[in-house]
Chain A
Amino acid sequence: MSGLSLNDVTKQFGDFKAVDRVALNVPHGNFVCLLGPSGCGKTTLLRMIAGLEEPTSGSIAIDDDDITKVPTHKRNLGMVFQSLALFPHLSVGENIAYPLRIRGRSKDDQAKRVDELLKLIHLQGFADRAVSQLSGGQRQRVAIARALALSPRLFLLDEPLSALDAKLREAMQVELRQLQQKLGITTIVVTHDQREAMTMADLVVVMGEGRIRQAAAPVEIYRKPADAFVADFIGMTNLLPVEADGADRAMVLGTAIPGLTLSTGVKKAQISVRPEDVRLIAPGNGAISGTVTFVRDLGGTIETFVEAGGKTIVAVATPRERPNVVAGSPVGVVLPAESCVVLEK
């Protein structure tokens, strides 16, 4: 298997399993986002790939080359840290040239490569600046350029954009993705921001409690979450209990959902329905009956909170299809069977 492969990688700190038997294959040139809440082991996994932590068991290989025991400085990778870790005593150019300098490249080589990289990150002419003279976004780009200076086999980023403000972060996400596509480098980003993951990744790996809960393309993760944890973590969703009745109909909050069936033998499960798939109609007509508790009008979208059978269901609509309801109105909730994901675990 070419590319990066993790084979049952486990990291234990005392009794606590930070990373639990993670197995993953990342083909060449893929952009992978490790996504999960804090403490799910994603940063520990990244640090093991970088060689900054040693796995308790399991192995890591690049292009069938076992690198589990190879020290960090011989792995030929580039890493961007959350704190960026730019060297304060070196200028921008010297920071970028550092990996070249310690490998004994000539001054001309270094200068040439620094120019190339500064051009790549749109900071031409900044080579002689001090790091402290740069803005947050510029520092971010310098850290990226430094990590890429040696054209590494692997490009690792640990929450690289978390220090930037929201607007700049979105811009950098797009920029980072474009840069990665231009260079075709295998990239792994750790993030807890699902929007970031959806924007950039070819492959999103959702982690929880040290394990991989689902690894798939962003749209698939969103459309077909593997379990309730993933469905809940990625975007907004409605998680509702579903039961099979005597006639094998799927019952949600006491109402049958036409067209939805559970696998044979399964009596109880959960369904996940995205808010934009929930339709609100007049009460009756076989819809789940509920009461509107709150309407949040955000301009671009309208979120309607409906209480039904002790659960709150959120429906999102565009202004054009605005439901004609106010708080307190009785309403019928329709869950289209084709957009219900049954989570049997």
Chain B
Amino acid sequence: MRREAPRSLADYGPLLYPAVMLIVFFVVPFSTMIAVSFFKRDPAGFYKTDFVLDNYARFLSTFFGSVLGFSLMLAVLVAICCIAIAFPFTYLLTKCSRKVQTVWLVCLLSVLSLSEVIIGFSWSTLFSRTAGITNLLVTIGLMSEPQALLPGFGAVLTGMVYQALPYTILVLYPALVRLDPTLLEAARTLGASPVRAFFNVVTPALRNTLVATLIMVFVFALGSYLLPQILGRPQHWTLSVLITDQAIYQSNMPFAAAMAVFLVLISLALVGLTLLVGRKENAA
């Protein structure tokens, strides 16, 4: 198919709708937020129009720095766990019969219909001492007495991986289905064991998909703020939790805005860095 560059103004017509939506629902609110982040807080009311850097200055403390660090670390960890589980799983899924694939995909889609709140409270029940999975382990004889597995870092990580996993699988699935199966067979005839062939052939062929999925899950996990509160201790709270706290409970809009802007900039920088590293390795 030949593609022509749009020439007249009318050719740009189809772009109009998304452009308007982006401006109304992204550019305007985000600009407002950036503006608010420079305003001065008014303890009596909301905020006063001003231009101060106090909000950003306050953020540069060890406390907020460590919360930001923790949030990024958690998001990266969730992304890595999701890929580590979803990639082999999806690969094996594509080798199954059509029927099995459909059943799995429908189940995964139904997980997406669950709200974050339901997921959070379900896991908090599963991890509890009285009704949790440890009771099952005790029955089997693997444990001597039931334990509470929450609140804790493991519980937060499990909940968030559970929530992000269906997205990861659904994004990887089309790419893996399209992969030429003879590539793998060729590697096997050339002397590679099936596991080795997977890492030598499938992984490099899907490099770009994997990087894109990693970024998607990372961004997705960065915004999570309910699960850390339900399943974690205060030290496991992410920056999103603090932003909500400042904006709603402390009525400090300017500081919340400053934190949000900071979070966006840092994540953009990380995404950019990942892409840059990916490109360099491709060129080499």
Contacts and interface: CB of A to CB of B under 8 A. Distances in A.
Interface residues of B, number: 20
A74 B207 CA distance: 28
Interface string B169-186: 000000000001011011
A146 B188 contact: no
A87 B201 contact: yes
B1 interface: no
17 contacts: A50-B189, A51-B188, A51-B189, A72-B189, A74-B191, A78-B189, A79-B185, A83-B182, A85-B183, A85-B185, A87-B187, A87-B201, A98-B187, A98-B200, A102-B192, A146-B190, A147-B189
Q: Is the interface of A mostly helix, strand, loop or mixed?
A: loop
A79 B186 contact: yes
Contacts of B204: 87, 89
A85 B201 CA distance: 10
Contacts of B189: 50-52, 72-73, 75, 77-79, 147, 156
B205 interface: yes
Interface in A60-116: 71-79, 81-83, 85-89, 98-99, 102-103
Given A72-B185, A79-B185, A150-B191, 20 more contacts: A50-B189, A52-B188, A71-B193, A73-B188, A76-B191, A77-B189, A81-B182, A81-B185, A83-B182, A85-B182, A87-B201, A87-B204, A87-B205, A88-B205, A89-B205, A98-B190, A99-B191, A102-B196, A146-B190, A147-B189
A52 B191 contact: no
Contacts of A81: 182, 185-186
A147 B189 CA distance: 8
- Return the 6 tightest CB-CB contacts between A and B, nearest first: A85-B186, A99-B190, A79-B189, A85-B182, A89-B204, A72-B188
A149 B186 CA distance: 13
Nearest to B201: A87
A82 B185 CA distance: 12
Contacts of B200: 98, 102
Interface string B232-272: 00000000000000000000000000000000000000000
Given A52-B185, A81-B186, A89 B207 contact: yes
- Between A72, A75, A149, the greatest number of chain B beta carbons within 10 A of the residue's beta carbon is seen for A72
A153 to B, nearest CB: 12
Contacts of B186: 79, 81, 85-87
B6 to A, nearest CB: 29
Contacts of A72: 185, 188-189
Interface in A130-160: 146-147, 149-150, 156
Interface string A204-234: 0000000000000000000000000000000
Contacts of B192: 73, 102
B182 A73 contact: no
A79 B188 CA distance: 10
Contacts, number: 69
- Between B190, B193, B196, B200, the greatest number of chain A beta carbons within 10 A of the residue's beta carbon is seen for B190
Contacts of A87: 183, 186-187, 201, 204-205
Nearest to B189: A79
A83 B181 CA distance: 10
Nearest to A80: B186
A99 B187 CA distance: 8
A51 to B, nearest CB: 8
Contacts of A79: 185-186, 189
Contacts of B194: 73
A44 to B, nearest CB: 14
Interface in B183-228: 183, 185-194, 196-197, 200-201, 204-205, 207
B205 A73 contact: no
Contact of B180 (A78, A85, A98, A99): A85
Nearest to A52: B185
- Between A73, A81, A156, the greatest number of chain B beta carbons within 10 A of the residue's beta carbon is seen for A73
Contacts of A83: 180, 182
B205 to A, nearest CB: 6
Contacts of B180: 83, 85
A81 B189 CA distance: 10
Contacts of A88: 205
Nearest to B204: A89
Contacts of A75: 189
Contacts of B183: 85, 87
Nearest to B207: A89
A73 B185 contact: no
A72 to B, nearest CB: 4
A159 B188 CA distance: 19
A158 to B, nearest CB: 9
